[in-house]
């Protein structure tokens, strides 16, 4: 959402930010002068073991209850702050008939595998129901030959209301600097618990057994951690300029193949190794696609081997996609003209 907010403010409009948990902490740091509202959202839980399909089915009633609650809060926010338009970043619950609404997503065609295929009709029906309530759908991707989202963003149902808006990254050409590669590996952690912490422990254990110079970013903007354990530097969070410098100073990046992370890394054309969150079919699809196209190496979390992965990384060309920021500007101009 950083480039979206930047673009809207560049056009002279006032942006009020509503978020929860990690996104709330992150956006509060990025935009300290903006009005920030805590708007509770549903946080999915990824089981340590067991079936993701069963976990999804069990969580549906709670998801629907939380969606209704958040939408009620949204209506009050609209009235209290005289909101003219809403841009929702993958928050299916934040639509309204009062004002123009935009839904940002790269997932119009949710992928499933294994037992999850059983619940795909239910998921699609529920997702389509919520997305259809928005006036426009903005897809963070480009229209070039290689589209980062692949078949994730392909859906005939929303053909008339969906628009590509280019890749959305907090980083841009201004963050590209001439810096030597002084770190062997930069580990970028992200995603929901408990899998984020499971991966942190797994990678730290393997990192300490290596002789590599490694920096690990914990993705905890609300904390202040900066410590050294032998060959590993552990940092809770970095501001954008320092984060960009860390990426460029690393020979190899290890991270989840979350879509936001992929868009960020595409700015720098770095070698990367991806470890999908177990059971998260979107990440599994993206990692497999990048592996097959010889763009980035990936391994499953259960079989991940740090040194083996690093030995294979040079066989892959790295992630770099030319962005088209004018696509976002066109949609923002159009939205503001309707307000």
Residue-wise pLDDT tens for the chain (339 aa)?
A: 999 999 999 999 999 999 988 889 889 989 999 999 999 876 666 666 655 556 666 777 887 888 888 899 999 999 999 999 999 999 988 999 999 999 999 998 877 777 667 777 877 888 888 899 999 999 999 987 789 999 999 888 898 899 999 999 999 888 889 888 999 999 999 988 889 999 999 999 999 999 999 999 998 888 899 999 999 999 999 999 999 999 999 999 999 999 999 999 999 988 999 999 988 889 999 999 999 999 999 999 999 999 999 999 999 999 988 888 899 999 999 999 998
Provide the 10 A C-beta neighbour count for residue 293.
12
ω into residue 279 within 30 of 0, thus cis? no
Region at 191 (left for phi over 0; alpha for psi -120 to 50; beta for the rest): left
Provide the residue count of the chain.
Answer: 339
Structural domains present in the chain: 2-167+323-338 (3.40.50.2000), 173-315 (3.40.50.2000)
Burial of 110 (0-12, 13-18, 19+ CB in 10 A): middle
Measured between alpha carbons, how far is residue 127 from residues 41, 98, 108, 122, 152 in Å? 16, 21, 8, 9, 13
What is the rounded distance in angstroms from the CA atom of residue 232 to the CA atom of residue 253? 14
Note whether 271 and 312 are within 8 A (CB): no
What is the rounded distance in angstroms from the CA atom of residue 195 to the CA atom of residue 47? 8
- Assigned token pair, 291: 């592996």
């Amino acid at each position: 959402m950083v480039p979206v907010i930047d673009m809207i403010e560049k056009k002279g409009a006032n942006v009020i930010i509503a978020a929860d948990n990690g996104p709330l902490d992150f956006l509060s740091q990025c935009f300290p002068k903006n009005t920030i509202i805590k708007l509770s959202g549903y946080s999915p839980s990824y089981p340590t073991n067991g079936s993701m399909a069963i976990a999804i089915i069990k969580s549906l009633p709670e998801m629907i209850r939380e969606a209704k609650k958040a939408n009620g809060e949204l209506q009050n926010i609209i009235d209290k702050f005289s909101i003219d338009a809403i841009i929702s970043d993958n928050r299916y619950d934040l639509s309204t008939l009062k004002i123009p609404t935009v839904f940002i997503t790269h997932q119009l065609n949710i992928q499933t595998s294994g037992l999850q295929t059983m619940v795909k009709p239910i998921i699609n029906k529920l997702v389509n129901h919520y997305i259809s309530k928005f006036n426009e759908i903005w897809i963070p991707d480009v229209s070039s030959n290689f589209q980062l989202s692949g078949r994730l963003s392909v859906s005939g149902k929303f053909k008339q209301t969906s628009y590509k808006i280019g890749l959305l990254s907090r980083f841009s050409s201004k963050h590209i600097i001439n810096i030597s590669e002084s770190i062997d590996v930069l580990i970028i952690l992200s995603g929901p618990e408990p899998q984020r912490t499971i991966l942190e422990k797994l990678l730290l254990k393997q990192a300490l057994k290596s002789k590599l110079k490694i920096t690990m970013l914990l993705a905890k903007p609300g904390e202040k951690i900066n410590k050294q354990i032998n060959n590993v530097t552990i940092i809770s969070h970095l501001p954008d300029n320092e984060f960009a410098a860390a990426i460029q100073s690393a020979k190899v990046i290890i991270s989840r193949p979350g879509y936001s992370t992929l868009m960020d890394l595409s700015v720098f054309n770095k070698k990367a190794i991806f470890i999908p969150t177990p059971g998260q079919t979107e990440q599994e699809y993206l990692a497999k696609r990048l592996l097959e196209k010889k763009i980035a190496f990936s391994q499953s979390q259960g079989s991940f081997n740090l040194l083996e992965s690093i030995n294979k990384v040079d066989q892959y060309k790295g992630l770099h996609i030319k962005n088209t920021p004018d696509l976002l500007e066109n949609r923002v101009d159009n939205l503001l003209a309707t307000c």
